[in-house]
């Protein structure tokens, strides 16, 4: 075994030698780095804190996840429990390096802290990034090097956005609403194309037989369609929202609470409902299934970015922006 991976196994074994009472705690911390958690956090920021910040935070998450997934498939590195004597306290079907939990958490919390410039948020962000990273090692699903690699990607995304987002936004705003939506659609197709190319590159390269059975799903393109659909739904929703009505995130406490609850119910209904419906129509890995996956996640983000605010305004749970 690679000496670096062997050292990682020893570190994980030391973590897992702690009291079993930490098992549940670490699973909770790991949940804070999942898509399901971000389905709660990012809509909250968008609906309750600042629409522009929430939208850009979603773009940060999608960009980070795309980079992490691409590097996972290009590096094709195993997870600790695939090759070492560690407990598998969680199971994953993708490759290990880099950790997308680590990259996403650093990018999301780091970007939030960078934009809001609150000392308490910087402190919370550091804590969240650290505990999520440690939890992934404790659960036996990531080596320390996977976590470090994820942090590097997350940091790179923050630097890129901090440097370029103003320049990119100013040029996109020169386009018509239709032009911006078409641009978003083209970018989503490029995400899918990149995934297809990466998978073509790795097809001739087999995984080591001792852990190949764990990585049977790791070479798929499904998640690229997830990211592409999410991106297009978000961009189309945001462009239409800004061009047709706009809304203010401020409001009374009961309005904010009702807004969040109603919006999240919509997210859950679409997210789970279309999963069941589309699952009945086609297998997820089929060509039709991949298109339906694109539409499902596009519908989720379109509801969050456009549909929910429209409902908020109709129900007087939010005020329109002044024009």
Q: Domain extents for the chain?
A: 3-314
**For residue 126, what are the CA distances in angstroms to 43, 206, 227, 251?**
22, 38, 26, 30
**DSSP assignment of 270-307, as one string?**
HHHHHHHHHHHHS-TTSHHHHHHHHHHHHHHHHIIIII
Q: With bands split at pLDDT 50, 70 and 90, how would you rate the model's confidence at 30?
A: very high
pLDDT digits (tens, 9 = 90+) for 291-303: 999 999 999 999 9
**For residue 39, what are the CA distances in angstroms to 163, 230, 298?**
26, 11, 13
pLDDT digits (tens, 9 = 90+) for 242-289: 998 889 998 899 999 999 999 999 999 999 999 898 887 877 778 898
Query: Residue 110: pLDDT above 90?
Result: yes
Q: With bands split at pLDDT 50, 70 and 90, how would you rate the model's confidence at 50?
A: very high
Q: With bands split at pLDDT 50, 70 and 90, how would you rate the model's confidence at 25?
A: very high
Query: Residue 1: pLDDT above 70?
Result: no
- Two tokens at 285? 């890995």
For residues 156 and 280, the model is more confident at 156
Q: What is the pLDDT of residue 31?
A: 95
Q: Compute CA 285 distance to the chain's CA centroid, rounded to the nearest angstrom.
A: 20
pLDDT digits (tens, 9 = 90+) for 86-104: 998 998 889 999 999 999 9
Question: Taking residues 299-320, what's their average pLDDT?
Answer: 95
pLDDT digits (tens, 9 = 90+) for 61-87: 999 999 999 999 999 999 999 998 899
| Residue 23 CA neighbour count, 13 Å, CB half | 8
pTM value is 0.93
Question: Taking residues 21-46, what's their average pLDDT?
Answer: 93
């Amino acid at each position: 075994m690679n000496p670096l991976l062997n050292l990682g196994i020893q570190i994980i074994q030391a973590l897992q030698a702690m009291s079993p009472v930490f098992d549940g705690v670490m699973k909770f911390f790991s949940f804070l780095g999942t898509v399901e958690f971000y389905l709660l956090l990012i809509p909250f920021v968008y609906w309750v804190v600042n629409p522009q910040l929430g939208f850009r935070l979603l773009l940060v998450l999608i960009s980070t996840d795309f980079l992490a997934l691409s590097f996972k498939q290009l590096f094709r590195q195993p997870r600790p429990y695939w090759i070492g004597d560690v407990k598998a306290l969680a199971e994953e079907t993708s490759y290990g390096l880099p950790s997308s939990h680590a990259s996403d958490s650093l990018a999301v919390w780091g970007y939030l802290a960078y934009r809001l410039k609150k000392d308490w948020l910087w402190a919370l962000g550091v804590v969240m990034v650290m505990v999520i990273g440690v939890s992934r090692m404790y659960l036996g699903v990531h080596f320390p090097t996977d976590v470090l690699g994820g942090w590097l990607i997350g940091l790179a995304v923050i630097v890129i956005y901090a440097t370029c987002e103003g320049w990119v936004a100013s040029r996109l705003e020169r386009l018509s609403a239709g032009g911006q939506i078409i641009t978003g659609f083209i970018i989503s197709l490029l995400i899918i194309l990149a995934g297809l190319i990466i998978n073509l590159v790795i097809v001739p390269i087999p995984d080591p037989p001792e852990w190949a059975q764990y990585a049977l799903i790791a070479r798929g393109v499904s998640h690229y369609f997830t990211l592409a659909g999410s991106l297009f739904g978000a961009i189309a929703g945001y462009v239409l929202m800004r061009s047709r009505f706009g809304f203010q995130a401020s409001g009374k406490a009961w309005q904010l609470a009702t807004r969040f609850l109603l919006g999240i119910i919509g997210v859950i209904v679409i997210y789970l409902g279309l999963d069941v419906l589309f699952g009945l129509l086609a297998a997820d890995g089929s060509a039709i299934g991949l298109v339906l996956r694109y539409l499902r996640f596009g519908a989720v983000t379109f509801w969050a970015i456009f549909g929910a605010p429209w409902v908020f305004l109709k129900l007087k749970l939010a005020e329109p922006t002044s024009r």
